[in-house]
């Protein structure tokens, strides 16, 4: 089992309320709501549903607008149709006929004034899946304002909704007033270009309603293209306008065009050369910042994922490291990565409704002691180059990668016949075996080197589910440490260093806010179905190279232990739609679709 979260960071209250735990689901049992003696009571609820043909995932965020709640909270509502909850998390959810109650877990009974708690559930339905609109918190109707009526013991809304409505959202903060967690309490933007591709696939409508990020991987992507590019035609302003039209609360962009980009790989090499920092600033970052700063978008939370696969390369892939490259030596020497990221953080961080999350690699990259602190320090250098660590909202791990969120059947402290799993070929002396424990611990390290204690972490779960028939259902009984780890691990890659279009991968946790202590959100930053790189050389005008790690016949290099690449065949260039991969991701999704 995954070890207890001894490394879990302390967070501000709104982020710490929803530590994940096992949830008990009981059907047909009545629950008496906890009462709260309070002179002022009030609440606001944001409800959203990701719906497919016969089921949906519901997400609920409740904000306490009244006096602090200290002895437990209960949120209640009634469905309008035949919706039936089948599974829940971050609350104990019960249902009697159409009436549903969600009771706080014992570890999060308190809810301070203006604090929020988020929980979710899976459910079945037939016919129309109408969103509920009437909610109560400890018996008080959630109207978005406070009153002086004390709560009652009843947890059931007075009546169910009678007509469909759009999911309610929290009121955005005034322009320039940033929130603690931009993902909490609001709906994410659904990119219509990705949705169209997903919906065109058999079964794709089951997942196409999830928010995904928009990748700005070249200068032309800012204004959009004529549609001949594999990345579509919508520009930054087009996406922002579409987000407003959707009533979305947040939108995610990937800022990804550094000079000498991706110095340790070829599949995602960019259009700018190693000495093109001036162009990066004036032709790329400045235009993006100008659009995002338009007052028209001031009520929209704009989230930037800043330059994946960049700063950690300066620690692990320069001379002196196995597989180090001259290109990474160049970018370390000329300061292009540090200064480029610093400039992006400065320009974008100055906008009141913009939130910057910097890429921090993944546990299979920097989980060793030799990489852990040096990576935190290089990230701090970039933040300091921006003028202030306040320009960083948080960090993201596992971006466009496949590392398992949680290794269910063993942890870093597990021993087999007296031998630590760290000695296995798979773990290879790493200090972490999954992304969640790594993200929580790395957050502590980032705070220790000088980042704000309020920073939050994101985990890209778009392709790390590893479900299907190959997923282990129990720990191995082998007494050989390598056999035990290989038979027990959720992550089914040949080597943890493999990153391109991995065979056997599946969709992971659906996007949601506050899933674990220290984690702002699980996100789908890499849109499922978009290729990591081509299986063979494909000429293109997007600066995309051919990397042998995307070739299924490649027998590897020093960075992946000279192992087979594990890549799917017949893949297109990075960012292009890869139908076979999308179908595999759905088939191997965990939780299953």
Of residues 362, 219, 239, the one with CA closest to residue 294: 239
Helix, coil or strand: residue 58: strand
Distance (Å, whole) CA 231 – CA 197: 11
> 447 phi and psi, to 5 degrees?
-65, -40
The answer to whether residue 309 is catalytic is no
> Do 431 and 440 form a contact (C-beta atoms < 8 A)?
no
> Do 103 and 150 form a contact (C-beta atoms < 8 A)?
no
DSSP 8-state assignment for residue 32: P
Secondary structure (DSSP) of 129-157: -PPP--EEETTEE--SSEESPPP-S--S-
Determine which one of 180, 226, 241, 262 is catalytic. 262
Query: Quick check: bond before 591 cis, omega within 30?
Result: yes
- Crossing angle of the two packed helices 369-385 and 435-449, in degrees rounded to 10: 50
Cα dihedral 266, 272, 273, 278, rounded to 10, equals -150
> Do 363 and 411 form a contact (C-beta atoms < 8 A)?
no
Token readout for 218 is 């070249």
Of residues 167, 49, 41, 169, the one with CA closest to residue 111: 41
**Sequence-separated (6 or more) residues with CB below 8 Å from residue 94:** 25, 26, 27, 29, 30, 31, 100, 101, 103
**Residues that are catalytic:** 262
């Amino acid at each position: 089992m995954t070890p207890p979260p001894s490394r879990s960071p302390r967070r501000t209250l709104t982020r710490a309320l929803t530590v994940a735990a096992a949830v008990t689901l009981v059907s047909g049992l009545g629950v008496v709501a906890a009462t709260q003696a309070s002179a002022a009571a009030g609440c606001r609820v944001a409800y959203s549903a990701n719906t497919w043909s016969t089921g949906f995932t519901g997400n609920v965020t409740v904000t306490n607008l009244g006096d602090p709640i200290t002895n437990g909270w209960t949120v209640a509502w009634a469905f309008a149709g035949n919706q039936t909850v089948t599974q829940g998390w971050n609350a104990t959810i019960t249902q009697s006929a159409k009436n549903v109650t969600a009771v706080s877990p014992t570890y999060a009974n308190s809810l301070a004034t203006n604090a929020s708690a988020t929980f979710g559930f899976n459910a079945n339905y037939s016919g129309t899946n109408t969103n509920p609109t009437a909610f109560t918190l400890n018996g008080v109707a959630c109207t978005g304002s406070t009153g002086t009526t004390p709560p009652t013991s009843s947890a059931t809304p007075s009546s169910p909704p009678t007509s469909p409505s759009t999911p309610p959202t929290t009121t955005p903060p005034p322009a320039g007033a940033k929130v603690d967690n931009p993902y909490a309490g609001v709906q994410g933007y659904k990119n219509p270009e990705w949705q169209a591709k997903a919906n065109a696939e058999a079964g794709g409508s089951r997942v196409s309603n999830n928010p995904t990020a928009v990748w700005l991987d070249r200068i032309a992507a800012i204004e959009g293209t004529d549609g001949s590019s594999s990345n579509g035609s919508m520009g930054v302003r087009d996406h922002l306008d579409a987000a407003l039209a959707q009533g979305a609360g947040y939108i995610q962009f990937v800022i990804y065009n550094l000079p000498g980009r991706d110095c340790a790989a070829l599949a995602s090499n960019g259009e700018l050369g190693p000495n093109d920092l001036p162009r990066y600033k004036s032709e790329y970052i400045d235009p993006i910042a100008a659009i995002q700063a338009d007052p028209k978008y001031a009520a929209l939370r704009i989230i930037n994922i800043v330059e994946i696969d960049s700063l950690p390369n300066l620690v692990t892939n320069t001379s002196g490291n196995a597989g180090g490259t001259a290109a990474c030596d160049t970018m370390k020497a000329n300061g292009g990565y540090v200064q480029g990221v610093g400039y992006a953080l400065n320009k974008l961080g100055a906008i009141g409704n913009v939130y910057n999350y910097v890429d921090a690699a993944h546990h299979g990259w920097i989980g060793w002691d030799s990489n852990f602190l040096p990576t935190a320090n290089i990230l701090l250098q970039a933040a300091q180059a921006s003028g202030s660590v306040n320009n960083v909202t948080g960090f993201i791990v596992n971006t466009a990668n496949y590392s398992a969120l949680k290794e269910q059947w063993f942890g870093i402290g597990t021993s087999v016949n007296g031998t630590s799993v760290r000695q296995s070929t798979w773990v290879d002396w790493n200090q972490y075996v999954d992304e969640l424990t790594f993200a929580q611990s790395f957050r502590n390290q980032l705070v220790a080197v000088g980042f704000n204690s309020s920073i939050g972490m994101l985990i890209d779960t778009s392709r790390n589910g590893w479900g299907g028939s190959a997923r282990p259902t129990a720990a191995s009984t082998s007494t050989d440490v390598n056999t035990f780890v290989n038979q027990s691990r959720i992550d089914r890659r040949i080597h943890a260093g493999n990153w391109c279009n991995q065979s056997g991968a599946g969709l992971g946790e659906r996007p949601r806010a506050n899933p674990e202590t220290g984690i702002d959100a699980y996100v789908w930053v890499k849109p499922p179905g978009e290729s990591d790189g081509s299986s063979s050389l494909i000429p293109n005008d997007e600066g995309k190279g051919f990397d042998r790690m995307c070739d299924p016949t490649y027998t590897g290099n020093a960075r992946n232990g000279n192992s087979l690449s594990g890549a799917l065949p017949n893949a297109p260039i990075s960012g292009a739609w890869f139908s076979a991969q999308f179908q595999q991701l759905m088939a191997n999704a965990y939780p299953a679709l």
